[in-house]
A and B are shown apart, each in its own frame.
Chain A
Amino acid sequence: MKRYSLLLGATALALAPAAAMAERGSSGHLNIIYWQAPSTLNPYLSGGTKEVESSSLILESMARFDETGAMVPWLAESIPTVENGGVSADLTSITWTIADGITWSDGSALTASDFVFTWQYCTHPEGGCAQAANYDGVTAVEAVDDKTVRITFNAPTPFPYTAFVGSESPVIQAAQFAECLGARAPECTDANFGPIGTGPFKVDEFRPNDVIELSANPNFRFPDRPYFGTVTFKGGGDATSAARSVCETGEFDYAWNLQMDPTILAGMAAQGRCAIEVAFGTSVERIHLNQTNPDPALGDARSTVEGGPHPFLTNPIIGQAMSMAIDRALIVEIGYGAGGKPTCNVLPAPDLYASTANDGCLVQDIPGAIALLDGAGIVDTNGDGIREYNGVPLRVLYQTSTNAVRQDTQALIKQWWAEIGIDTELRNIDASVFFGGDPASPDTFQKFYADIEMYTNNFAGVDPQAYMASWLCGDMPRPQSQWQGSNIQRFCDPAYDALVAEMARTADLNERGRLAREMNDMLVRYSIIPLVHRGGVSARAATLEGHRMSDWDSELWNIMDWRRTQ
């Protein structure tokens, strides 16, 4: 079995010091700007990207994901696998060993009991832990001895690297958070705003939603790192002004998440003070075609299985024609620039899982789409320019969240669909309502009271098993589930459900890849129309080096290696 050879390959290299000459603090002060400011430094109480990434300077986990998605042992000695005995043969437990010489920033030793406590902290029923999903299926976390942590799962788990891996489930200090379990979590403001960690930096001052001042952890396990002695982590403003402060005024060294007009960003970068960094993970901007009928006349049954199938979007020919009519490259050029690439897959990465079977969609083909519809007998019978299918005109309501790029995309797609005889009505909804999940609101993406909707989704980590299980028949949002559920387009295929079950039993990596690709292909023909594979876009000062941007983990995952060019 060579399942984890890819994961092990990069481990030794990743920790090799990049600049043997430099020493701790030799690069001076680092200024980072996140235009969305962190609200807390306890990622278990927030779950937002800004909190997870800012706390990753302080808190660490057993292993992290580098820029290729490969796992790198971090607090652990090595990555446990079935081969090295770290993962039990029946795949129900994983045993991590903490590397030697790791201490908290207060000087006390990191022990296995800290991991046990972290698990108890996050799974406490009254705590409202935002990262609880990382501990799904974990029945026990035990300290075998001071250095050894065993995690037991309730079922065979082919990919056991969820708890204590990546930036979302770091270890917190038991001594500091002992009094903060469950409902008492918010009372521990000092701990939440100044967690003691094992990471390269420690908190000097934290002002929620404003700024964090950090300095190098004096007890950090690598005596020569971090190369920066102090860090200011500022928040506030907007993406454009953050980019300006790195690329034009030079006040900051690193700006995160620059979702802005790509031509403006390219113009700023052209001045030579900064470099634009892009990292691609699994985010895909996609269109969902409602497979159930959203007709308002159905009342409570609209957009549910009880309301019946959609009058025409369940026909794959129509979905295929809609997909063919879209020029994805133009959408990328106008709205995403370097931060996007056209894609035909809802599961675009890691490479092992990315299907190539649908790549034909990358080229726009309006005549082909027209011919396809004409050939299927879906034509305009009453001369109003709109085709009919079984007497129902192809008119769709197309909704998304309010966002300049999304509205541009909507306008383009409406135009292309008009050319193939499909009439589109556009609608946009404030993001806090659209993604808010309030079961009383008719405008949430889960309720899907429209024919078509567009947004971005992704999955954390590198294993798509849970993500692909989103589209099980039973996971449709419906009134009985308070409109919760991940199968947004109400796709249902027993063959798909069977593949999901098979993947949950399969440990072989290549076989898992084949299953995931097969599931992806079922989804994109044609209940989901993928548009853009989106990457994280950041700017770094030209004088900053050692930066390896990963979209699989915190962007700041290797900040201990960052340094100033001489």
Chain B
Amino acid sequence: MRVQGGAASVAACVLIGGAAGCAGVQSALDPGGDEAATVARLFWTMTAGALVIWAGVVALGWYYGRPHEEAPSPRRDRWLILGSGVVFPVTVLTALLAYGLWMLPPLVSRAPEGSLTVEVVGEQWWWRVRYLDATGAPLVELANEIRLPVGEPVQFRLSSDNVIHSFWIPSLGGKMDMIPGRTTYLTLHPTRVGTFAGACAEYCGTAHGYMRFMVDVMDPAAFDGWLAGQRQVAVEPQTPETQRGRDVLRRAGCGACHTVRGTSADGLIGPDLTHVGSRMSLGAAGLSTDAATLERWVSAPERLKPGVHMPAFQMMGSDDIRALAAYLERLE
């Protein structure tokens, strides 16, 4: 009984653990877009097919494992081996290959002319996101966050200037490599409003595991409002503390790496901070954008994200760092 109980517990754990992958913000089996639905359908088709084949193999093993009284038939056995060992696998593999190849062209085809175009550049280790206008000029730049209108195709232009990354939003579609020296393209059709998670799917260095991003699929009207808000310059600080924070940002040289539109900070090395306070996460690491986390980040980013290229600014003093964090939090 104890052995049976143990086996049942193990089976329950496997089932529950396995089922946890069937839903959530980063599950390819919980599709929020046409491309992910295609991939999920392929997965379930293959799973069902594999179960049928497994049952057939077990049944054959059971049948031939029993003692038989009739005389063996070499001719029948030869055809069985040829049929189940050659003809059947070749047929199944050919069908699977054809199905998989038939799925591919729509996944890499371009979105219709005039579709929303988003350029994503793989950095070490974060995502530079630019929304482009019809001429290909950047409208707005942000980092580690993508917002999309539901029900509309979106054209991603993907590139990298350091190492190979791979852009993957499992709930919306398949992944696409970002290769230095090339531009690759990915078209997605989000079909459901919601928040999804994306990740780098190609090992790219120390902080590869902290190279995540969030995707918010919104109603088109809400999306238009959000994009218009992102195009605004940074809000002017209203309180003495946030005004001090703005002065710290200017004095400490943050603008050498970061841009805060509407101020003199126009660096291009690190993420654009114009609206950092309204972002869903910080540092591509799933961190909150509240003042306390921003304070810890500026003081010692390496502690929150091992491998990060941004240096620590602990030498600025805790009052200045607190003021800077308060200013950044208010950049919504």
A and B together in one complex: no
Report A's interface with B, CB cutoff 8 A.
none
